[in-house]
């Protein structure tokens, strides 16, 4: 009985002195986010420390990421629980009506600053909420958000639409690992000495590849924040980057594809670079341009700018503009600006 009593007595967490608890649980200062209108700021309050319940959530380590397979989000989440909108001119403040005991993401203002979007991260899923900046009134707009590859939503220039990544509907359970391997795990080496960076939590097996594809695949959709309607764009893919054009008529997407790397994280796998219109039609594919010249693509001054990474003669990198014309065709032209130094 004495041994059993000792075991029961030591099976609970021991607390440090009161002064240590107060120091660790001291309320952090709010974080401020300035709106595009520069008239208000969003003040987000967060918890000082994560809870044991939060840290004990399931974690899948794969492709250099650590995600929660129950809610399709990151395992380590922001500790934000409240949002206040403060008027810079008169100092007035309104609280955003978020769910009680919520865990929120950092806020994202609409381009005109009249609305803000925030994610409510739950144990079994992630919801998208949109708040009116003037009143603080917020409502849930969409659920089943997929945040495994990072920030899943971005505003369009119309201030009423968000493009978001969603968990594809109608899927079955996660792929189960076979008790009998289909074959060996093979890694090849060319027999040459070369420097190689090492990363944690890489894909190691064929089952890891299946899990990566299952959890990281998203369906893009346009979400109308007024009506709540959701319009899918294109087909599901593993989107590592989704960027709306300045006009809001196109979306630049970068998506991972097989074969998946066992040595590099998500940003090191083969990728397709595609421009989609708002109906999901493929307006242009830049995959060949990326594979030939390397580098990156981004929107710049209403056009798509490609910056090559392969040094040319003189140690300079090529820079070219990829212009979307009215008929959806692409025209490639050298930029007027000097090339970047390698």
Delimit the domains of the chain by residue range: 291-342
Rounded distance between C-alpha atoms, residue 171 and residue 246, angstroms: 33
CB 130, CB 82: distance < 8 Å:
no
The pLDDT value given to residue 332 = 53
Please, where are the H alpha helices in the chain?
2-9, 18-24, 52-55, 206-216, 287-293
CB 95, CB 84: distance < 8 Å:
yes
| Single pTM value for the model | 0.87
Rounded distance between C-alpha atoms, residue 145 and residue 73, angstroms: 8
The pLDDT value given to residue 302 = 66
Burial call 233-271: b when 16+ CB within 10 Å, e when fewer: bbebbbbbbbbbbeebebbbbbbbeeebbbebbbebbeb
DSSP run (H or E) holding 244:
strand 230-244
Phi-psi region of 16 (alpha: psi -120 to 50; beta: other; left: phi over 0): beta
The pLDDT value given to residue 205 = 92
Taking alpha carbons only, the member of 84, 133, 139, 140 closest to residue 113 is 133
The pLDDT value given to residue 333 = 46
The pLDDT value given to residue 215 = 98
The pLDDT value given to residue 153 = 98
pLDDT in tens, the chain (342 residues): 545 554 555 578 899 999 999 999 999 999 999 999 999 999 999 999 999 999 999 999 999 999 999 999 999 999 999 999 999 999 999 999 998 889 999 999 999 999 999 999 999 999 999 999 999 999 999 999 999 999 999 999 999 999 999 999 998 999 999 888 888 877 777 778 878 788 999 999 999 999 999 999 999 999 999 999 999 999 999 999 999 998 888 999 999 999 999 999 987 788 898 989 998 888 777 776 565 556 678 887 667 766 655 444 444 555 555 555 444 455 554 444 333 232
The pLDDT value given to residue 244 = 94
The pLDDT value given to residue 336 = 40
């Amino acid at each position: 009985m004495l041994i059993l009593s000792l075991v029961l007595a030591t099976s609970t967490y021991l607390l440090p002195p009161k002064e240590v608890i107060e120091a660790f649980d001291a309320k952090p200062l709010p974080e401020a986010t300035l709106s595009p209108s520069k008239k208000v700021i969003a003040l987000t309050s967060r918890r000082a420390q994560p809870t044991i319940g939060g840290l004990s959530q399931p974690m899948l380590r794969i492709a250099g990421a650590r995600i929660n397979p129950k809610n399709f989000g990151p395992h380590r989440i922001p500790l934000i629980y409240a949002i206040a909108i403060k008027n810079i001119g008169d100092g007035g403040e309104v609280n955003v009506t978020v769910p009680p005991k919520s865990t929120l993401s950092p806020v994202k203002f609409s381009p005109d600053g009249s609305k803000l979007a925030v994610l409510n991260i739950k144990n079994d899923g992630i919801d998208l909420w949109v708040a009116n900046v003037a009143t603080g009134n917020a409502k849930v707009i969409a659920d089943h958000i997929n945040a495994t590859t990072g920030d899943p939503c971005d505003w369009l220039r119309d201030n009423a639409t968000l493009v978001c990544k969603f968990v594809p509907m109608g899927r079955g359970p996660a792929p189960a690992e076979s008790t009998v391997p289909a074959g060996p795990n093979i890694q090849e080496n060319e027999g040459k000495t070369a420097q190689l960076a090492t990363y944690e939590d890489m894909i190691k097996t064929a089952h890891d590849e299946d899990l990566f594809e299952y959890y990281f695949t998203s369906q893009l959709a346009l979400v109308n924040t007024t009506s709540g309607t959701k319009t899918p764009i294109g087909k599901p893919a593993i989107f590592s980057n989704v960027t709306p054009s300045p006009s809001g008529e196109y979306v630049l997407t970068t998506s991972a594809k097989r074969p998946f790397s066992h040595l590099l994280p998500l940003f090191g796998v083969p990728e397709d670079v595609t421009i989609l219109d708002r109906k999901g039609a493929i307006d242009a594919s830049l995959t060949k341009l990326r594979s030939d010249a390397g580098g990156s693509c981004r929107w710049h001054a209403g056009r798509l700018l490609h910056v090559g990474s392969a040094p040319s003669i003189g140690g300079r990198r090529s820079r070219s503009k990829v212009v979307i014309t009215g008929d959806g065709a692409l025209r490639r032209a050298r930029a007027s600006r000097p090339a970047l130094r390698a």
